Amino acid sequence: MRPGQRRQQGLQYGIYLLLMQTVNIGIDKIPPATLIGVILQTLLYVGLIQVPWNAEEVCISAVKILKYKNWRSFFLSNFEHGSDMHLYYNMISFILKGSYLEPIYGTINFVFLLFVLSTGCSAMYVFLGYMLTQLTGDYGYYTTCAIGFSATLFALKVIALCEERDRLHNINGFHVQSKLAVWVELILIHLLVPNSSFVGHLGGILVGCLYSYTFVGEMVDNMIHMITGKPIIHEEQFYRSRNTLFT
Q: Which CATH number covers residue 77? A: 1.20.1540.10
Residue 226 domain-assigned? yes
Q: Using one digit for the tens of pLDDT, what is the confidence trace for 11-55?
A: 689 999 999 999 999 999 999 999 999 999 999 999 999 999 998
Nearest Cα neighbor of 233 from 115, 116, 101, 105 is 105
Biggest CA–CA distance in the chain, Å, is 51
Residue 2 domain-assigned? no
Those residues with Cβ within 8 angstroms of residue 58's Cβ, 6 or more apart along the chain or in another chain: 72, 73, 76, 77, 80, 147
User: How many structural domains comprise the chain?
Assistant: 1
Active site residue 169: no
> What single-letter amino acid sits at 211?
Y
Residue 5 domain-assigned? no
Catalytic option among 81, 86, 201, 234: 201
Residue 167 domain-assigned? yes
Catalytic option among 73, 77, 83, 150: 150
Q: Quick check: helix, strand or coil at residue 50?
A: coil
Active site residue 201: yes
Please check the confidence at residue 176 and state whether its pLDDT lies above 80: no
Q: Using one digit for the tens of pLDDT, what is the confidence trace for 98-108?
A: 999 999 999 99
- Domain span at 117: 13-244
Ramachandran bin of 76, using left for φ above 0, alpha for ψ from -120 to 50, beta for the remaining angles: alpha
> What single-letter amino acid sits at 27?
I
What 8-state DSSP symbol labels residue 8? P
Q: Identify the residue with better confidence: 52 or 240.
A: 52
Q: Using one digit for the tens of pLDDT, what is the confidence trace for 115-155?
A: 999 999 999 999 999 999 999 999 999 999 999 999 999 99
Task: Taking residues 64-88, report their average pLDDT.
Answer: 95
Residue 8 domain-assigned? no
